[in-house]
Structure 1
Amino acid sequence: MCDAFGPRRIQGDVSLSSSFAIDVPEALLRRAQRGEASAFEQIYRRFERPVFTLALRLTGQREEAQDVLQDTMMRLFDRIGDFRGESPFWGWLRQIAVNESLMRLRRRARQGLAEEADDEALESQDLLLPPAAADAALLGQALQRLPDATRSVIWLYHAEGYTHDEIAGLMGKTASFSKSQLARGTRRLRELLRIETEVHPHA
């Protein structure tokens, strides 16, 4: 398994990676744990973008990603006193954001809502991927065209560094489910990327 913030390859030079590994000064954490509003605001500003980006990658919808951001931060404020520094702060907060995102996906599945990303999300690649090159943008667009569960498995495995057992626990599935979604999604991504690169040969 790679480092939690390191990329895993999908195809050729195209990879997924989580771009955020933010340190939080211990003094700032202590102030927040004492209930200082200004400290909470600083932490919110530090993690607003990475939490939103992760939520948007998993849910595929900006409105839901914004809701996940707010819910995650509310849980953070409620539970920050439980953080003991035994793991990186972003890893701890990221787990809350992942749980909130997957909970919304389960709710969406129960309600039978379509698994299609909205147009605004598809047009927001600058928020989601480093301004590397066109192949990264094409990968982002292809990811949004996958079903919710498949996209979630791919992102959690490749970008966030979760194992299949960990993904299974998060999603209430089996490790075999995670592996099959990863294999199926990777094949589909390759198909989509071939199509996109043929349509945009100079990308």
Structure 2
Amino acid sequence: MEGTASTSTFSGDIDPGQLSSLRQGCPAALAAAYDRFARPAYGLAIRVLGNPEDAADLVQDVFLRLPRASRQFRGDAPFGAWLRKLVANATIDRLRERKRLVPLDQAHVELGLDSGVLDAIHAGELLQRLSPTARLVLLLHAVEGMTHAEMAVLFQQSESYSKSILSRALKRLRDLYRSDSPVPP
């Protein structure tokens, strides 16, 4: 899984037979789920965590737990969407373990300007300069398509939590882009 983040998506579902086999711990069903969804899982994890080893470890952990976790899948949404939420929850847990996910009232401190600014920065580097909390909210909303209502459930916060973090993250990115651009945008 190491390397660049994938452009694959979590779209799609799995057939009922494969789901049943996965729930029973069938190695072939797990391998099929891994082949189909590991790339987008890694893509989300690397964008949020920013470290290839941490992202690969997280994906491995998620897929090791998948047979048991799949028993909680109710089929209300496609399997890929449910798995995206599982990966997002795992990244939140990983950030909490590191004490890097902070409450809203402290998030504004993490969004302060850095002292040194590089001459040329690409989008991935700009994202890495956001706090883990801001990066996660931005990626879940803009890249993964989660609504603020879905994030409210995910973060166990109000919808205004993710709206506020997203607004501050976008402002921060604009400010960083302007300060790093040799030519005004």
Q: TM-score, normalised by structure 2?
A: 0.73
Deviation at 1:78, TM superposition (A): 0.9
Asked which structure has the greater RCO (Cα within 8 Å, sep 6+), the reply is: 1
Deviation at 1:110, TM superposition (A): 6.5
Bigger drift between 53-62 and 32-41 goes to: 32-41
> Which of residues 60, 66, 87 in structure 2 aligns to 1:97?
87
Letter in 2 for 1:85: G
Q: Distance in 1 between matches of 2:25 and 2:170?
A: 45
Instruction: Tell whether the 8 Å contact from 1:40 to 1:77 is kept in structure 2 after alignment.
Output: yes
CA RMSD of aligned residues (A): 2.8
**CA deviations over 1:30-53 (Å, ceiling 9, x no partner):** 332343211211211211111111
Deviation at 1:197, TM superposition (A): 4.3
In structure 2, stretches of 5+ residues that fail to align are 1-6, 103-109, 111-120
> Which of residues 121, 134, 146 in structure 2 aligns to 1:162?
146
Give the alignment of 1:47-196 within 5 angstroms.
47-109=37-99, 138-196=122-180
In structure 1, stretches of 5+ residues that fail to align are 1-17, 116-136
**CA deviations over 1:57-91 (Å, ceiling 9, x no partner):** 22222222122212211221112234343310101
**CA deviations over 1:71-129 (Å, ceiling 9, x no partner):** 211221112234343310101111111111001111212699xx8xxxxxxxxxxxxxx
Report the CA distance shift for 1:76/1:193 in structure 2 as closer, same or farther (over 3 A). Answer: same
The total of aligned residue pairs comes to 160
Q: Distance in 1 between matches of 2:101 and 2:70?
A: 32
Report the CA distance shift for 1:66/1:180 in structure 2 as closer, same or farther (over 3 A). Answer: same
Name the SS for the 2:62 alignment partner: helix
Q: Distance in 2 between matches of 1:74 and 1:34?
A: 13
Name the SS for the 2:77 alignment partner: coil
Letter in 1 for 2:30: F
Deviation at 1:19, TM superposition (A): 4.4
| Percent identity for Structure 1 against Structure 2 | 40
Q: Distance in 1 between matches of 2:149 and 2:182?
A: 36
Deviation at 1:24, TM superposition (A): 2.8
Report the CA distance shift for 1:41/1:103 in structure 2 as closer, same or farther (over 3 A). Answer: same
Name the SS for the 1:109 alignment partner: coil
